[in-house]
Amino acid sequence: MDLRRRAARAFGVAAGLGAAILCVSLAGQMGGTGGAAPSTGDVDGSGEMNITDAIYLLNYLFKGGPPPVDCPGGTSTPLCKFRFFNDIVCNNLPVVVTMTACETTFGQSTTDAWTTCIDAKAGKTCLVRVSANTQDCGAFCFESSIPLVDGHIYNFVISVDDLGLFVIWFDQQGDCATAPPTGGDPVTGEMAPCPGAAGVGAGGSCSWTSAGSWGR
């Protein structure tokens, strides 16, 4: 009897996971109620696919629990996006600048193009930090806490003008297909130096300059 119960339980879990994957597939085809479905069977919206997804789905199917996230009739996970533009050089050489947004870190060398978008869960306040450290021009660190709104894209630019190094950001409604801002667009905010960090260019003997790809 114990063996039968174990087999039945295993079958139920397998069926739940299979249904979770099917649920996501259906959501992608039918559109759901909140946009694109996740690429995994994360039906409980935890950010991971594991045994709790099967339990969550079985509870919905047989006990009247809440509907799966992103399934038809369910609710979607609110998302926003980030992208970044690095316009600074040191001694006329490219500089890799690191951006950390909601604990997701990525870097970009000096370029004339925006990074690809990264996703973040909306509905919370996110700490965004931009930093670099070079031998010739020293280090810098800027940060801002930004409230994230579903369906928005947050654009960050680091550049240099007559007043020195700056990091500005633009809040747009849209997605990665939305045209990035230009130097003539209104700025949403400007980042402040990180608390406790050394001054911009500390430890360096040269100055940051603009690559000329951005202007304001």
Same domain, 27 and 125: no
Element (DSSP H or E) covering residue 182: none
Q: What pLDDT, on the 0 to 100 scale, is given for residue 3?
A: 58
Q: Are residues 94 and 179 in the same domain?
A: yes
Tokens of 135: 């031998």
**Same-domain status, 109 and 155:** yes
Q: What residues contact residue 7 under an 8 Å CB cut-off, 6+ apart?
A: none
Q: What is the pLDDT of residue 50?
A: 78
Domain contains 10: yes
**Are 185 and 128 in the same domain?**
yes
Asked if 192 and 156 sit in the same domain, the reply is yes
Q: What confidence score (pLDDT) does residue 80 get?
A: 93
Q: Report the pLDDT value the prediction gives residue 4, as an integer from 0 to 100.
A: 59
> 118-121 and 189-190: which strand pairing?
unpaired
- Are residues 21 and 97 both part of a single domain? no
- Same domain assignment for residues 97 and 203: yes
Decide which of 15, 33, 63 is a domain's last residue. 63
- Domain of residue 179 covers 79-210
Claim to verify: residue 115 and residue 59 sit in the same structural domain = no
Residues 96 and 25 in one domain: no
Q: Distance between terminal CA atoms of the chain?
A: 75
pLDDT in tens, the chain (216 residues): 565 555 555 555 555 555 545 554 444 443 344 444 444 567 777 767 778 878 887 777 777 777 777 555 555 678 899 999 999 999 889 999 999 988 888 888 888 889 888 888 899 999 999 999 888 888 899 999 999 999 999 999 999 988 888 999 999 998 889 999 988 899 999 999 999 766 565 556 678 889 888 755
| Euclidean distance between CA atoms 144 and 153, whole angstroms | 16
Q: What is the pLDDT of residue 63?
A: 73
Whether pTM exceeds 0.75: no
User: Does 216 reside within a domain?
Assistant: no
Task: Enumerate the β-bridge partners of residue 157.
Answer: 85, 168
Q: Which residue has the tokens 């509907």?
A: 67
Residue 215 domain-assigned (yes or no): no
What pLDDT score was predicted for residue 163?
A: 85
Closest CA to 147 of 98, 102, 84: 102
Q: Are residues 58 and 140 in the same domain?
A: no
Q: How many structural domains is the chain composed of? A: 2
Is there a domain that residue 99 lies in?
A: yes
What Rg, from alpha-carbon coordinates, does the chain have?
A: 23
Q: How many CB atoms lie within 10 A of CB 211?
A: 17
